[in-house]
Amino acid sequence: MRDKIMRPTRFAAAIGFAIAAASAQAGECTYTVQNSWNTGFVASIKITNDDTTAIDGWEVNWNYGNNVISNSWNANLAGAYTATNLSWNAVIQPGQSIEFGFQGTLNGDVVETPIVTGSVCTSNPDPDPDPDPDPDPDPDPDPDPDPDPDPDPMGKFRVNAQGNITKDGEEMPIQCGNWFGLEGRHEPSNDVTNPSGAPMELYVGNTFWANGSAGTGRTIQQTMNEIKGMGMNVIRFPIAPQTLNPNDPQGKAPFLKNHSSVRSNNAREAMEDFIKLADQNDLQVIIDIHSCSNYLGWRAGRLDARPPFVDVTRTDYDFLREDYSCSATNNPDSVKHIQAYDKEKWLDDLREIAGLSELLGVSNILGIDVFNEPWDYSWGEWKDLTTEAYAAINEVNPNVLIFVEGISDSYDNQDGTPDDIGNSPHGDPDTTPNWGENFYEFAANPLDIPKERLVISPHTYGPSVFVQPMFMDPAQPECEGLKGHEAGAAKCNIVIDKDRLVPGWEEHFGYLRDQGYAVIMGEFGGNMDWPNKASLGDQKLWKGHITPGVDQDWQIAFTDYMVEKDIDGCYWGMNPESGDTGGWYGHAYDPISNTAGWGEWLDFDQRKTNLLNKIWGQ
């Protein structure tokens, strides 16, 4: 919470955030006080393997006289005090380090620096017993929501007074695309290997069956070279909680589609290797928790989502997932698989992601998008959750930005009665926001996150993703108010009128840019040829009475608005496997004529390149 994060005392500054270290045959254990204030502290323990053989499993111990730990991350904590490895950080290779952290209370005015013991750190020199013989008896109680003990960290991201992003004090444009895949995809229910599975794999454009099983030869480095050459400097990188688990079977063979030459051992390894390679290529990364489950994906809407899910009656739709839930309770009879998720697990995941900069030794993690499209929360609920998200991230890494998406126009109260729907104000009722677009209530009830750390990150799309009521043709009064598949079934025409759309964008998020907030579209884009090359269900509903090009009209109108408002954004998607939007890269796949072309990338779509060049000022 913000009121618990205080300005460091002069005593804490004077001891230089003291370190107690212990070297050993297997490694070195270092206890570091990262920050302290008049009632509490944040500290970490780093284990460095300086031996020639790998450490496989570790346990360390330490003790306090008066200090007490209230929460921890990246380790299992028991007793007073013993920490053991998690599954993903058990092995420490020679020359590598892992680090775990914790927050605690002082129970007095002394920040303790205990000796760390354990089988991986057997030699224990005494810490300085009195680093400051004259501590400040009257520490400064002023609140400081952004403690920053390191005056010159590398990879320190901030929002300046103009609402623009800076890295290490230098303003940088956000020329961004989404590179998705590790959050999980839906395998068809008739898939031979993994029916209705949800494999987590970074799309590379090089599948194992391409070119007679020789693959296409494409690598991640090749793609990074190409997108950098086109001007991209930031990648939004969606993951799921399960991505963080190297042992999740859906992140491993035999469920992976990539060619063996570019295949990772597991989803966690793919994530870490990608972030490190992006850092080497000076590409910044926004890590996005895209769902509570790799099985539910974008449709979740909340941390503990459960059926019934949206679009269960969608035409020719295989992605129903009525048998999966992220809720531990109140599930309908359809649920057979529970991946229970809740606020505490989410906050732990945010801390773990915040620790990746230190763990991987990178300086390119620009921000954390705390949860994708939280459409199933009221504004008050979402504000409370984001306040806790900021505090959890800031405990571990005060140098990253907090990306927050908006809500929607309504929400299910999730009390076991699916029809109990609440309405969220969004201004003019005729301009319906997309999931993640609605920041209307921010004006009267702003988020409790410092402006220099906050990025407003709405999502908005045109008809290829969802047909909104404001797309209906005024010449068809019978279609007024219709949306989605009901509009398709009624053979409604679609007309993109920028003058009709801009007032909604202004009410939902644009006004915040005028107030100096950083506004970065987390997702925008679409299928230029829709309803051609769309899902079979969309083709049945729309092909024949809709002339292809209406989504291109929408994208032109929206990118014009972005330029007018000086709003940057992350195009969805950069890679082309998204069924409703396609990608910046072309796709050999066609759902009718070339299903074997799935995962084979073609050249950049020049129409999309033109849009990106427009908003990037190229």
**CA-to-CA distance for 355 and 91, rounded, in angstroms?**
17
Are the beta carbons of 88 and 98 closer than 8 angstroms?
no
Residues 274/183, Cβ–Cβ less than 8 Å:
no
Answer yes or no: 523 catalytic: yes
Q: Is 269 left (phi over 0), alpha (psi -120 to 50) or beta?
A: alpha
Cα–Cα distance measured from residue 402 to residue 76, given in angstroms and rounded to the nearest whole number: 26
Tokens encoding 390? 């900021």
Catalytic residue among 28, 112, 352, 523: 523
- State the Cα–Cα distance between residues 565 and 519, nearest whole angstrom: 10
Give the Å distances, CA to CA, from 453 to 156, 284, 358, 512: 11, 16, 19, 15
User: Cβ distance 578 to 572 under 8 Å?
Assistant: yes
Alpha-carbon gap, residue 238 to 44, rounded angstroms: 27
Cα 599–chain centre separation: 23
| Cα-Cα-Cα-Cα dihedral sign, residues 71, 76, 79, 80 | negative
Write the DSSP assignment of 534-597 as a string of letters.
S-HHHHHHHBTTB-TTHHHHHHHHHHHHHHHHT-EEEES-SSS--TTT--SEEES-BTTTBGGG
SS3 106: coil
What lies within 8 Å, CB to CB, of 203 at 6+ separation is 179, 180, 181, 575, 577, 599
Nearest to 199 by CA among 139, 263, 243: 243
Helix (H) or strand (E) run with residue 404 in it:
strand 401-404
Whether 201 is catalytic: no
Which residues make Cβ contacts (< 8 Å) with residue 104, sequence separation at least 6? 40, 41, 42, 43, 64, 67, 68, 69, 70
Sequence-distant (≥ 6) Cβ neighbours of residue 61 within 8 angstroms: 81, 82, 83, 116, 117, 118
Active-site choice (373, 437, 441, 600): 373
* CA atoms of 452 and 490, how far apart (whole Å): 48
Task: Please name which of 37, 63, 34, 64 lies closest in space to residue 46, comparing C-alpha atoms.
Answer: 34
What are the Cα distances from residue 122, in Å, to 119, 272, 280, 362?
6, 30, 35, 29
Are the C-beta atoms of residues 282 and 233 closer than 8 Å to each other?
A: yes
> One-letter amino acid identity for 508?
H
Q: How many degrees, rounded to 5, is the angle at CA 367 between CA 364 and CA 373? A: 140
Which residues are catalytically annotated? Answer: 373, 523
